[in-house]
């Protein structure tokens, strides 16, 4: 993957008062999951998630997935719907933690899910190379967490592919960045060979 790509008119996340979002495709396609009605969580817009998973479609089946700054868990649950075998969600806010747990129960996937209530940066700092197949992160747009995570990944690539959602105003060097309205997603690949 290389370069930067724009998709016009995809828009940003859903409003703070929206309480459910839709799983787009796969086993749970069309099902709705809860999302916290708070400005601390900015769910990824459907069109962005659809494009994101279109890019990763070959990497998801059978994958061990990590979802950092998980919020409602939409990215991780979308991955499970499309054939991932497990997801570790990392979320420190109590309301989001409870909603991820409820969503896992609603979709009957609690046995495929582990939820870590901790800081996502600290969690990533402790990971070993190759711990996951696919990793997602959707950190707050206003902070430096996206760049911090990219640097951690470069130092210790904890997944085969790591994709980070961020504001188009933030640049993450050395990856394949796709733009969707005011949202960007940067894909970073591990230099390590895939595990057998």
Give the pLDDT band (50/70/90) at residue 114. Answer: very high
In sequence order, which residues have a C-beta less than 8 Å from that of residue 134 and are 6 or more positions away?
A: 56, 59, 60, 63, 64, 65, 66, 79, 84, 159, 160, 161, 162, 163
Per the domain annotation, does 196 fall within a domain?
no
Answer yes or no: are the C-beta atoms of 81 and 28 closer than 8 Å: yes
Give the pLDDT band (50/70/90) at residue 6. Answer: very low
The pTM assigned to this predicted structure is 0.86
Per the domain annotation, does 195 fall within a domain?
no
pLDDT in tens, 147-177: 999 999 999 999 999 999 999 999 998 899 9
Per the domain annotation, does 185 fall within a domain?
yes
Mean pLDDT of the chain: 86
Per the domain annotation, does 149 fall within a domain?
yes
Per the domain annotation, does 194 fall within a domain?
no
Give the pLDDT band (50/70/90) at residue 191. Answer: confident
pLDDT exceeds cutoff 50 at 106: yes
Among the residue ranges 3-12, 74-83, 143-152, the one predicted with the least confidence is 3-12
CATH number for position 176: 3.40.50.150
Q: What's the average model confidence in pLDDT over 98-122?
A: 96
Higher pLDDT, 19 or 99: 99
Beta bridge partners of 96: none
pLDDT exceeds cutoff 50 at 46: yes
Instruction: Compute CA 113 distance to the chain's CA centroid, rounded to the nearest angstrom.
Output: 14
Distance in angstroms (rounded) separating the CA atoms of residues 71 and 139: 9
Number of domains in the chain: 1
Q: What's the average model confidence in pLDDT over 1-17?
A: 35
Report CA torsion sign: 56, 61, 65, 69. Answer: positive
- Name, of 19-23, 32-36, 130-134, the range with top average pLDDT: 130-134
Which residue range is the domain that position 149 belongs to?
4-189
Distance in angstroms (rounded) separating the CA atoms of residues 179 and 186: 9
Higher pLDDT, 19 or 176: 176
Per the domain annotation, does 66 fall within a domain?
yes
Distance in angstroms (rounded) separating the CA atoms of residues 187 and 176: 5
Answer yes or no: are the C-beta atoms of 100 and 69 closer than 8 Å: no
Per the domain annotation, does 63 fall within a domain?
yes
Distance in angstroms (rounded) separating the CA atoms of residues 154 and 124: 12
């Amino acid at each position: 993957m290389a370069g930067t790509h724009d998709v016009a008119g995809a828009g940003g996340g859903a409003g703070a008062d929206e309480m459910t979002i839709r799983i787009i495709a796969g086993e749970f396609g069309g099902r709705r999951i809860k999302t916290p009605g708070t400005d601390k969580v900015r769910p990824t817009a459907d069109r962005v998630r659809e494009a994101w998973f279109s890019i990763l479609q070959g990497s998801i089946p059978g994958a061990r997935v990590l979802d950092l700054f998980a919020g409602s868990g939409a990215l991780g649950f979308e991955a499970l719907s499309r054939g991932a075998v497990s997801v570790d969600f990392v979320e420190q806010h109590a309301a989001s933690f409870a909603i991820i747990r409820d969503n896992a129960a609603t979709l009957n996937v609690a046995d495929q899910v582990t939820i870590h209530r901790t800081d996502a940066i600290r969690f990533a700092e402790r990971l070993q190379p190759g711990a996951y197949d696919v990793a997602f992160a959707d950190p707050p747009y206003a902070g430096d967490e996206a760049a911090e995570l990219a640097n951690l990944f470069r130092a210790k690539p904890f997944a085969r592919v790591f994709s980070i959602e961020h504001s188009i105003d933030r640049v993450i060097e050395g990856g394949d960045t796709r733009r969707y309205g005011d949202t960007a997603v940067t894909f970073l690949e591990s230099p390590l060979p895939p595990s057998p």
